[in-house]
Amino acid sequence: MMHTGFSKRIMFVGIILGALAGLFVGATESRGQDSVPPEQVAAHVHAVIEADRSLYTEFVVERLQQAGKVIASRHWKNRSQLPLPAQMLMFAGLEVEGMGSGLKYRLASLWPLEEENGPANDFEKAGLEVVADDPSEVYSGMIKRGKQKYFKAIYADKAVSQSCVECHNGHLLSPKRDYKLGDVMGGVIISFPVDDAISLEQVAAYVHAVIEADRTLYTKLVVERMQQAGIVLATQNWKKYRSQLPLPAQMLLLAGLEVEGMGSGLKYRLASLWPLEEENGPANDFEKAGLEVVADDPSEVYSGMIKRGKQKYFKAIYADKAVSQSCVECHNGHLLSSKRDFKLGDVMGGVIISFPIE
């Protein structure tokens, strides 16, 4: 079992829902016996990456550019501009790598603007050629570095916004200048260590790492920068105004729905003991207990096995903290809020992740 740098409270208890609601099965029967195939682990990680990137492109980059408020640019750091979707993905990959779990991901291309973004070896080159030829393919396999085995998967990376197309087609160093929207530009390369098995806890930790990295970067590089520059605000009612941003919590909830719609069984959402809307409260006793645990100690992860009918699911609950002043002001000032003394960094609820166990 991989160590992920946080303490865990593991509660392997099966909760039978539906007609058998309220019955529990022993923890010791399932502990250590269940694992997830590496192909499925990579698919879960990729689903979160793609959902977050898609939503950032559609609801942030394209909306604000069309509203004439701000543009996305490769040189966003020196200007009041947005990072390109590809840059956000690369930054998130570095953020996740820095967490130390062994999970890594990045973008690479057969036609990179910079040499370090090309294939690092023959495996990556072969994979990039496969997904360029057929974007529906996933090229994957085991590799070894020293004595450690790693699973690596390569997914097609498509031009998701006109900004991506214009940047590559117009760049002086670009070896390919005829991209169109939707074309394969390279690949998303995901890798993680594999020992005898990949534990359920580790899969949840990987998924959570991507969620947290994307949310942190969206908060710091987009929401806070844009608000400090006086360009746009992040508000709960962003849909009504083209010149406003979704709150970080809303982006997470939207991404969870996007991932659920992909049909792999992976689900995640935010929930709270003090929700603004009833549907964002705990759905059952397991979730209520978990939210209480992470509220008491944000370093804990409350997790366990549940059953719905004959299907087993693994569920993990992580502390959800107030990551921006917008979150604090929204909850403290909302008419329906049952708690109005949140401060930046306070636990506001939990990120609940679940996936089926075959």
Q: What are phi and psi of 287, to 5 degrees?
A: -65, -40
Would the pLDDT of 74 be above 70?
Answer: yes
Nearest in space to 157 (alpha carbons), one of 131, 133, 125: 131
- Report the pLDDT value the prediction gives residue 101, as an integer from 0 to 100: 94
Return the higher-pLDDT residue of 119 and 176. 119
SS3 label, residue 295? helix
SS3 338: coil
DSSP state of 339: -
pLDDT tens per residue, range 287-303? 999 999 999 999 999 99
- The rounded mean pLDDT for the chain is 88
Give the CA diameter of the chain. Answer: 65
Domain ranges across the chain: 9-34+200-357, 38-50+65-194
Q: What percent of the chain has pLDDT over 90?
A: 69
Residues 6+ apart with CB under 8 A from 43: 138, 153, 264
Q: Pull the structure tokens for residue 283.
A: 């759905």
Q: What is the pLDDT of residues 248-260, one digit of tens each?
A: 999 999 999 999 9
Above 70 in pLDDT, residue 35? Answer: yes
Comparing 67-71, 114-118, 173-177, which segment has the lowest mean pLDDT?
173-177
Going through the chain in order, the beta strands assigned E by DSSP cover 9-10, 14-16, 23-25, 104-108, 138-145, 148-158, 184-194, 233-234, 244-245, 267-271, 301-308, 311-321, 347-357
In CATH, the architecture of 38-50+65-194 is 2-Layer Sandwich (3.30)
Confidence of residue 105 (pLDDT cuts 50, 70, 90): very high
Q: What is the C-alpha to C-alpha distance for residues 8 and 213, in angstroms, rounded to an integer?
A: 20
Q: What is the mean pLDDT of residues 6-17?
A: 42
DSSP per-residue string spanning 217-255: HIIIIIIIHHHHTTS-EE-TTGGG-TTEEPPHHHHHHHH
Whole-structure pTM value:
0.88
Distance CA 173, CA 158 (A): 19
Residue whose tokens read 């492109």? 57
Indicate whether 13 pLDDT > 50. Answer: no
Strand pairing class (347-357; 267-271): antiparallel
The pLDDT value given to residue 33: 55
Least confident of 135-139, 186-190, 225-229: 225-229
208: left (phi over 0), alpha (psi -120 to 50) or beta: alpha
How many CB atoms neighbour CB 275 within 10 A? 19
